[in-house]
Chains A and B, each alone.
Chain A
């Protein structure tokens, strides 16, 4: 609600720190990390933080898989297994895929639409800090019991936290409280960035960048942001209901007083199914950028891909009951949602066909980003097909709560989202580090990950169809599951190895990677017209856009057969912006000032949440911190030296 005051006025503290702010303006020193407003810096912070959470979630997965490698293994007990399982799911959804997508929104959206920053740079910083606070808060739950004697305090209700598993009676510790409040905090971060990116995309486009000239990734960011701002309030209410039930003895999910636990499932999945597309649409956007670049062809059927994305966004609100076929809602509800679920496969299928048609007849360059993008298309299609089998109600009755479901959503979220995010790393990281990632290591990473992924998750289809339930901490032998579990565990460690190779690749390339230059991939969109890494103001002169794939059209024209030919000799490597060092180097471009108020405001949330659980006095402290942050934010000028 912070309205921004245009006048110049500072608090005493702000005066004292003015020097630090000026240092941050110069883009060096610790203050540029504490008070960042530059979308690229915030994007990097999102990416690094989410990757660390990815490693944590991955280690949790390895623990689970180690426990399941043979029947009756003794690595984890039931309680530890439940808690680590819950944290694995919650981490991967809320702390990995969503923020990694947010990292790409931050890094790429302003560059791709020809803007100097997002619409609200300080709100952007606020999103990051709230995300970080929520992530730490959620993981702090581990330490609410004596972790060193093997007692984990983490939530034990699964990432869906179904009622009444989540009630005080069945989960007496503080784990679920941390879960509910942590996800609530993370929701605030997502909401803030959702608003920010919609405004940025609608309002900050360079001249000539009409909606239907926008890169597909920007389109998918827009659709995702709309899904975020409409889905997050629904889970917020569900979480508030859970919090009120647990902390203040309300009755939302209390059957003794007439409450219906099914309400949780409805609200969770009314949020949860749009959430699935919040996770996958950015990945689709990334792939829709990479396939054309490495096929040297424009995206096939651009408007179809855009409208499919929009259609998916709308339809994602009408399919949630397919998570609840077995709850007894009746044949009418099940049939209706079965049909809508089959229908949502249509726009998804349209996209897959368009990606294949983009590659068809192109001159393919199978560099690492392209390999991951192609891997995405293949793996996502498998996941999509098993998804269609879930839409068929009788078939779903059989698969409900088995490993078949686990296989399905890992094919779309790992084989889909994670593959695409890695494609994005290989494609776009050089823009921000200035160094190309090693392609040979990238290929090894890709093949190991592809093999490991399929080794892990394909057998789960079979163990699931053989009746192995999900979320069990162990199983007895002689049910035909042993070999498939063994394979899955071997696969999981293969994936871990491939991630290790990726990390080596990043460190190696940062030290002695080949310089990326402006345009290492012969790219099509505006981000390749500026240096790598880009100056903090992005564009010396705001570009004027005349076509879709604007940079490509500056470099190439077509001959009669539609083959691309360079505009003039050497122009393929010429960069319109290259002359820009000779100009003022960006002097005189006013950029938003760094601000530490978003950090202060963000700190208020975990303090309040801790207070709700342990001591109400802390709630007042947290609220005070939040108010100081918001008022400081509202009263400081957005841009240094601004008067009017």
Chain B
């Protein structure tokens, strides 16, 4: 079996697992994706010719709480990985579920925020702020959604007893993705919400 390609147990030239290397490259590529979105946001900051403007809408305490929720989900993700690496399937299940729940909580916060902004007259086509804000945070939200789906899939599969200590790489890869999405939110939260000219 050592000769088979594309499996997790292959010896590689660099010693890095193929799938892990793939995930790191994917995240590198994602940096450019979010970098471009953030650049567009920053370029158009203060260029809206009509309101509502960010200062009219942002509720910093509320968004701080949801940012905190997302940050905490990274902690539970770490704990899930640590659990399965010790062979503690039960612990992993608990922490995976916690992470997914926190992710969902963040998403509902975002959904609430989007609806609120909409009520106050901001849509995708209102002004440049609406365009760049919804597209940037929307794409981030889509990434969190995919992350939640991955976590829930892992959780479901683990209920069938199909994730054991030797399969911890699956959890590790999901974790890498989850942490990345988290870090992106820290950048967005800082640049979009906290630092306002």
Contact = CB atoms under 8 A, between A and B. Distances in A.
Contacts of B18: 119-120, 199, 203
B173 A3 contact: yes
B127 A590 contact: no
Given A233-B32, A248-B124, A6 B3 contact: no
Contact of B7 (A6, A115, A237): A6
Contacts of B28: 229-230
Nearest to A639: B4
Nearest to B132: A252
Contacts of A257: 48-50, 125, 127-128, 131
Contacts of A236: 33
B135 A590 contact: no
A644 interface: yes
A236 B40 CA distance: 13
B175 to A, nearest CB: 11
Interface stretch (B8-16, B61-69, B108-116, B187-195): B8-16
B29 A117 contact: no
Contacts of B124: 244, 248-250
A638 B7 contact: yes
Given A119-B18, A639-B6, A233 B170 contact: no
B29 A229 contact: yes
A412 to B, nearest CB: 25
Interface of B is mostly: helix
A237 B36 contact: yes
B157 interface: yes
A552 B175 CA distance: 46
Contacts of B44: 258-260
Contacts of B60: none
A523 interface: no
A116 interface: yes
A240 B157 CA distance: 34
B150 A3 contact: yes
Interface residues of B, number: 53
A198 B37 contact: no
Nearest to A643: B1
Interface string A116-146: 1111111000000000000000000000000
Contact of B6 (A3, A5, A638): A638
A195 interface: yes
Interface stretch (B19-27, B51-59, B78-86): B19-27
A258 B22 contact: no
B6 A229 contact: no
A68 interface: no
Contacts of B135: 240-241, 244, 250, 252
A229 B162 contact: no
Given A119-B22, A642-B7, A249 B12 contact: no
A4 interface: yes
Contacts of A251: 125, 127-128, 130-131
Contact of B36 (A191, A250, A267): A267
A564 B16 CA distance: 39
A375 B153 CA distance: 54
Contact of B8 (A6, A196, A631): A6
A204 B3 CA distance: 11
A135 B166 CA distance: 41
Contacts of A195: 22, 25-26, 29
A459 interface: no
A365 interface: no
A233 B13 contact: no
A118 B25 CA distance: 16
B5 A115 contact: yes
B125 A248 contact: yes
A199 B162 contact: no
Nearest to B4: A590
A196 B21 CA distance: 10
A274 to B, nearest CB: 11
Given A115-B5, A248-B125, A238 B170 contact: no
Contact of A203 (B12, B26, B157): B12
Contacts of B7: 6, 638-639, 642
A252 B36 contact: no
Contacts of B173: 3
Contacts of A240: 135, 139
A249 B124 CA distance: 7
A229 B43 CA distance: 24
B106 interface: no
Interface string A186-222: 0000010011101100111100010000000000000
B146 interface: yes
Contacts of A205: 13
Contacts of B32: 230-231, 233-234
A258 B37 contact: no
Nearest to B171: A3
Interface in A1-29: 1, 3-7
Interface of B: 1, 3-9, 12-14, 16, 18-19, 21-22, 25-26, 28-30, 32-33, 36-37, 40, 43-44, 47-50, 124-125, 127-128, 130-132, 135, 139, 146, 150, 153-154, 157, 162, 166-167, 170, 173-174, 177
12 contacts: A1-B150, A120-B18, A198-B25, A199-B21, A209-B13, A230-B29, A233-B36, A236-B33, A237-B36, A250-B131, A257-B49, A259-B128
Interface of A: 1, 3-7, 115-122, 191, 194-196, 198-199, 202-205, 209, 229-234, 236-238, 240-241, 244, 248-252, 257-260, 263, 267, 542, 589-592, 631, 634, 638-639, 642, 644
